[in-house]
Chain A
Amino acid sequence: MSKYFSPFVIPFCIGVVLLFAICIWKYIRWYRGFDRLQRAIIKKNILSWKFLPAIWEIVMESLLHRRIFKRNLVLGYMHASIAFGWFLLIVVGFFEAELGIHGSKPFWVAIFYRFFQHDHNTFASAAIFTQVMDGLLLFVLSGIAIAFVKMIYSRIVGMKKVTKHVIFDRFAKVSLWCIFPFRLLSESVTAAMYHNGGFLTQTIGDILPFANVYVEYICWLLYSLALGVFFVSMPFSRYMHIFTEVFLIFFRRLGVKENEQKSGYTMYELSACSRCGICIDACPLNKQLDIKGVQSVYFLRDIRYKMLKDEIADNCLMCSRCASDCPVQLDLMAIRRQMRDKKELDTKNNYRYLDTVRPFNAMDRVVYFAGCMSHLTPGIPEAMEKIFETVGQKYWYMDKDATICCGRPLMQQGFHTQAADLRRKNTQLIVQSHATLLVTSCPICYQSFTKEYKLPIKVMHHTEYIAELIKSGKLKVNKDASLKVTYHDPCELGRGCGIYQEPRDVLNSVAMLMETPEEREHSLCCGFNLGNTVIELEQQEKIRNAALENLQAGNPDLICTACPMCKKAFTRATDAKVMDVAELVSRSIG
């Protein structure tokens, strides 16, 4: 045993022990913060086939960082080389130590193998191992080098803005960045003295002017210190994501979801954010208004360090652009809603009218729910009524007079109990109608009905409904091939519900649909989403104008959208000609 001990390993050992102790303590505590439903889901699925895709995703994301690769090759390489390279260094190093030193040995030997084993040829393929280990070290070092360049010139990895880190993260980063150069140095010095290096360490060792036991010892001590410092700071810094992402992917694959209140699961999400900063460039508040400090990366950080201010939580359009870019696929919108929890709103008087709304038997009809916003764009419900009449579909216009909001805008602002009141009333009305299909014109309502309600009937957005009518031949439309239109993907319908194709199919059958530079997942928020209560009208208009510019790039005759709110946002800008998909369809049936 003493043969494999040297005092320099102490920092590393303390680091490892603390790291695991803190992590295990945190993970257990968070797990106990899961609510009953979340835990039941884990119990139910832990032994199911869902296990396998979880493992696959962990390899693809936590190690290989596939999603970052898809975004930018250099950035992906940077993340993968550090994560996967280091992982391999540990695994291959472990086997090398197992083969090279027989019998029991302390756990640090694998880490400081070259220091304890000077002999190059203890087993058959030892030389190959040496070269492989050098190769892996070079792999990691190349990633660190890119990270270093990125700090000075972020465009190299396709990023305009990078995260501004808190002091503590910078401290952890410096120790992380030191680990590998110190390892290189230590192994090179040892190689210079004992000729046990590979293509990299031996080459460097051979040109080193200094190499004696003192230098060697100091180098290995620095390496151990860097490791120790990094390990101790890891659970408190952004590097906690390294382990946490693994757990998160696992829980998520088993079916755990965020709920209305912050839970233990949220704690996992918070720590799984690597503060990569990809969400900063995605955010229209950054791009169009240069508002700093509110983007998801800062928002999550502020929650984690308990320094979140209301202005930050509220300053978000809920456009989910960042969520669709986030390589860890965090449920950023749900966390934002949790942090907006404001219970004190008194709605007793406002909600008295709910009791006066009477149910209606719509057994043989489609239920049509225009949505409050559509009442401000009466052209849309008018068009829908015409379409229903044209195909001879009887319908019940549920919110024609007594408009009850679906509740989602309240929820976005954090008024969860109030939203639940509205959901209860609407559910009651819908259930008592005995209808089997609900069509809505508002993507906000659509997302609400499909995700927050548990309705026993099918729900369709009107673009889906119209697409089906056209496809089945029930609705005959005239195509005007000379009419060039562009389509705006509303955040709530596109990124929110994944409906991208149906509106395009519909538009293609009535006009000539053109592509726009930023569309589908990348579509730009119209700025008038109800999510943000902080920015001013002029700022909303700036965001709107950027979206409009994108839509007008190819000089279309008409801009189409599928959301009353987007439509209002665009028509406020004087010269834009804007229509809802339903309106264009209604026009094309004469």
Chain B
Amino acid sequence: MKTIAIIGAGPAGIEAASILAAKEETEILLFEKSASTLDNLRDKAFLFPDFSAADDLVEILEAKLNRDNIKLLSGKEVKSVTEQDGGWQLQDAEGTSYTADAVLMTTGYKVFDAHRKEELGYGIYPGVITSIDMEKKIKEGKVLNAVGDTPKKIVFLQCVGSRDEKSGNHYCSKVCCVTAVKQAIELRKLLPEVETYIFYMDLRMWGGGFEEMYRESQEKYGVRYVRGRISEAASTYDGKIQIKSEDTLVGLPLKMSADLLVLMVGMEPSEGTKMLTRQCNCADSYGFATTMNPHLRDNETAQPGLFVAGSCKRPMSLNDTLTDARSAVVKIAEYLR
């Protein structure tokens, strides 16, 4: 009988658990610090690139947990992971210990805290919201501006807390460009009158179907793109947001007012990821997990028996996360053989 501990019941954790559990003589301990699984999916309305409902995916993934040999331990936050005589010992927040033959870390990401870029006015002006807030509004099907009216103009700002030396995150978060395109299209579907602008540094349409979506957003939905970073935001007397920026394509300063300013917040390692990668000596300078080798051993850490998968390694889309979880399964099976 082999016991595998998986830390984090997000898409990566669940996918890996369900495949590993198919093997006989295997028991899975799936730790999840929050009361529910898949929190980072539940607040989404539709998913890029196919606009499928996030709730559908949640349902499918949850169903995968219906196996006797998967023990879902929700509300249990793993606080420490240590190697012990060739095996592993885990401890949760209450101090209960568990042992396992192998550990898979799928502790995921958290979004950048927009308060840290105070010049953009998040938390100060009600008209400034994050992409997560916008996702929730779209999910409710009700998008209103700060004073409760239907918005006429919505501005998205890319790379908030990513590719930004000042906030300490040099990397690209990968999902926010296409998420902005996705949200702008959804808004135009929901409120055909609304004008949408996307301020970007450069648009990274790297995935299958992304570029097509981007083109469609312009041709079919009239989404407008401005190359430039917004330097500051202020509120106007009527509750709108005034934006100061520079259009770096034409090289001119630009002022614009909008009903809503949506900050496309980037991905950072979750608190759990930061804590555990540091403990296990596999943290990069941001706190994401590092692996043995980016090509062939991208799920293994320097410690045999400790594996990682999903967005605890670096920003990843769902598709990549799920694929990565499956690849970790192969490595774990090899290790336990």
B121 lies within 8 A of A378 (CB):
yes
The answer to whether A376 touches B118 (Cβ under 8 A) is yes
B166: nearest residue on chain A (CB-CB)? A572
- Chain B, residue nearest A353 (CB): B253
Any chain B CB within 8 A of the CB of A537?
yes
Give A526 Cβ to nearest chain B Cβ, in Å. 14
Does B232 lie within 8 Å of A574, measured CB to CB? Answer: no
The answer to whether A379 touches B116 (Cβ under 8 A) is no
Could you tell me the distance between the alpha carbons of A568 and B231 in the complex, rounded to whole angstroms?
14
- In the complex, which of the residues A375, A378, A400, A537 contacts B166, with contact meaning CB atoms closer than 8 Å? A537
For B168, give its contact among A375, A567, A574 (CB under 8 Å). Answer: A574
With A572-B166, A572-B167, A574-B116 known as contacts, the answer to whether A375 contacts B124 (CB < 8 A) is no
A378/B233 in contact, CB under 8 A: yes
Chain A min CB distance to B154 (Å): 20
Other-chain contact of A377, B119, B125, B166, B167 (Cβ < 8 Å): B119
Query: What residues of chain A lie closer than 8 Å to B116, measured between beta carbons?
Result: 571-572, 574
- List B contacts of A537 (CB < 8 A): 165-166
Contact status of A572 and B168, CB under 8 A, knowing A378-B124, A382-B124: yes
Flag if B232 contacts A376 (CB, 8 Å).
Answer: yes
Judged by a CB distance under 8 angstroms, whether B275 is at the interface is no
The interface bits of chain A over 445-470 (1 if a CB of B lies within 8 angstroms of the residue's CB, else 0) are 00000000000000000000000000
Question: Which A residues are in CB contact (< 8 Å) with B165?
Answer: 537
Interface of B is mostly: mixed
In the complex, the answer to whether A375 meets B232 with C-beta atoms within 8 Å is: yes
B234 touches A375 (CB 8 A): yes
- Whose C-beta in chain B lies nearest to the C-beta of A375? B232
Q: How far does the alpha carbon of A276 sit from the alpha carbon of B167 in the complex, in Å?
A: 40
How far apart are B235's CB and chain A's nearest CB, in angstroms? 8
- In chain A, positions 372-420 with a C-beta closer than 8 Å to chain B are 375-379, 382, 400-401
Nearest Cβ on chain B to A356's Cβ, whole angstroms:
13
A400 to chain B, nearest CB (A): 8
Alpha-carbon distance A586/B167, docked complex (angstroms): 27
Cβ of B233: which chain A residues have Cβ within 8 Å of it?
378
- Chain B, residues 125-156, CB within 8 Å of chain A (1/0): the string is 10000000000000000000000000000000
Complex partner residue of B119 from A376, A382, A400, A401, CB under 8 angstroms: A376
Quick one: given A537-B166, A572-B168, A574-B168, are A379 and B124 in contact (CB under 8 Å)? yes
Q: Tell me the bound Cα distance from A575 to B124 in angstroms.
A: 19
CA distance A568 to B115 in the complex (A): 11
Q: With a CB–CB cut-off of 8 A, which chain B residues contact A376? A: 118-119, 231-232
Contacts of B234 in A (CB 8 A): 375, 378, 400
A-chain residues with CB within 8 Å of residue B166 when the two chains form the complex = 537, 572
Q: Which residues of B contact A382 (CB under 8 A)?
A: 124
Give Cα A441–Cα B319 distance, bound, in whole angstroms: 49
Would you give the shortest CB distance from A432 to chain B, in whole angstroms?
A: 23
Bound together, the chains give a CA A567 to CA B118 distance in angstroms of: 10
Complex contacts, A567 vs chain B, CB 8 Å: 118
Q: Are A378 and B168 in contact, with the CB atoms below 8 A? A: no
A549-590: CB near B (< 8 Å → 1, else 0) gives 000000000000000000110011010000000000000000
Residues 222-237 of B contacting A (Cβ, < 8 Å):
231-235
Contacts of A325-378 to chain B: CB distance below 8 A = 375-378
B287 CB to closest chain A CB, in angstroms?
Answer: 10
The reply to whether B167 and A378 contact each other, CB–CB distance below 8 Å, is: no
Contacts of B124 in A (CB 8 A): 378-379, 382
Complex CA–CA separation, A401 to B255 (angstroms): 11
Cα-based distance from A378 to B233 in the complex (angstroms): 8
Contacts of B118 in A (CB 8 A): 376-379, 567-568, 571
Contacts of B232 in A (CB 8 A): 375-376, 378
Most buried by A among B115, B118, B165: B118
Give A574 to B113 CA distance when docked, in angstroms. 9
Residues of A within 8 A of B167 (CB): 572
Q: Determine the distance from Cα of A401 to Cα of B121 in the docked complex, in whole angstroms.
A: 15
Nearest-CB residue, chain A, relative to B244: A375
Identity of the chain A residue whose Cβ is nearest the Cβ of B122 in the assembled complex: A378
Q: Mark B91-108, 1 if CB is under 8 A from A, else 0.
A: 000000000000000000
A-contacting residues, B283-319, CB 8 Å: none
Interface mask (A505-547 → B, CB under 8 Å = 1, otherwise 0): 0000000000000000000000000000000010000000000
Q: Which residue of B lies closest to A379 (CB)?
A: B124
Q: How far is the CA of A571 from the CA of B167 in the complex (A)?
A: 9
Chain A nearest Cβ from B254, distance in angstroms = 14
> In the docked arrangement, what's the CA distance between A388 and B166, Å?
32
**0/1 interface trace, chain B 57-84, chain A, CB 8 Å (1 if under):** 0000000000000000000000000000
Residues of B within 8 A of A379 (CB): 118, 124
Task: Give every chain B residue within 8 A of A375 (Cβ-Cβ).
Answer: 119, 232, 234
Q: How far is the CA of A375 from the CA of B244 in the complex (A)?
A: 11
User: A401 contacts which chain B residues (CB < 8 A)?
Assistant: 242
- Complex CA gap A401/B234 in Å reads 9
Q: What chain A residues lie within 8 Å of B119 (beta carbons)? A: 375-378
Closest-by-CB residue of A relative to B235 is A378
Chain B residue with the shortest CB-CB distance to A537: B165
Residues of chain B lying within 8 A (CB to CB) of residue A574: 116, 168
Bound: A379/B128 CA distance, A? 13
Please indicate the chain B residues that have their CB under 8 angstroms from the CB of A568 in the complex.
118
Q: Which residues on A sit within 8 Å (CB–CB) of B231?
A: 376
Tell me which of A378, A567, A574 has the highest count of chain B C-beta atoms within 10 A of its own C-beta.
Answer: A378
Measured in the bound complex, the distance between the Cα atoms of B234 and A375 in whole Å is 8
* Chain B residue nearest to A381 in the complex (CB): B234
Docked pose: A571 CA to B117 CA in angstroms: 8
Contacts of A571 in B (CB 8 A): 115-116, 118
Complex: A382 Cα to B125 Cα, angstroms: 10
Min CB distance B72 to A, Å, is: 31
- Which residue from chain A places its CB closest to the CB of B165 in the assembled complex? A537
Nearest chain B residue, comparing its CB with the CB of A372? B232
Residues of chain B within 8 A (CB-CB) of A572 are 116, 166-168
Q: Which residue of B lies closest to A377 (CB)?
A: B118
Q: How far is the CA of A379 from the CA of B168 in the complex (A)?
A: 22
**Residues of chain B with a CB closer than 8 A to A378's CB:** 118-119, 121, 124-125, 232-235
Whole-angstrom distance between the Cβ of B69 and the nearest chain A Cβ: 40
Chain A proximity of B23: nearest CB distance (Å): 41
Q: How far is the CA of A375 from the CA of B165 in the complex (A)?
A: 20
- Beta-carbon contacts of B222-265 to A below 8 Å, as 1s and 0s? 00000000011111000000100000000000000000000000
Give the distance to chain B from A360, nearest Cβ to Cβ, in Å. Answer: 16
* Cβ contacts under 8 Å, B168 to chain A: 572, 574
Write the nearest CB–CB distance from B257 to chain A, whole angstroms. Answer: 11
Shortest distance in angstroms between B241's beta carbon and chain A's nearest beta carbon? 11
A266 to nearest B CB, angstroms? Answer: 37
Contacts of B235 in A (CB 8 A): 378
**With A and B bound together, what is the CA distance between A400 and B244 in angstroms?**
12
A474 to chain B, nearest CB (A): 25
CA distance A537 to B166 in the complex (A): 8
**Quick one: closest A residue to B121, CB to CB?**
A378
Cα separation A401 to B168 with both chains bound (whole Å): 30
Contact bitstring B165-179, A, C-beta under 8 A = 1, else 0: 111100000000000
A42-58, CB < 8 A from B = none
Alpha-carbon gap, A382 to B232, bound state (A): 14
C-alpha spacing A521/B51, complex, angstroms: 60
A36 to B232, CA, bound (A): 45
- Expressed in whole angstroms, the minimum distance between the Cβ of B128 and any Cβ of chain A is 10
> A residues within 8 Å of B by Cβ?
375-379, 382, 400-401, 537, 567-568, 571-572, 574
Q: Which 4 residue pairs are nearest across A and B when measured between Cβ atoms?
A: A376-B119, A377-B118, A378-B124, A378-B121
> 28 interchain pairs (CB within 8 A)?
A375-B119, A375-B232, A375-B234, A376-B119, A376-B231, A376-B232, A377-B118, A378-B119, A378-B121, A378-B124, A378-B125, A378-B232, A378-B233, A378-B234, A379-B118, A379-B124, A382-B124, A400-B234, A567-B118, A568-B118, A571-B115, A571-B116, A571-B118, A572-B116, A572-B166, A572-B167, A572-B168, A574-B116
- Known A376-B118, A378-B118, A378-B124; 4 more pairs at CB < 8 Å: A378-B234, A567-B118, A572-B166, A574-B168
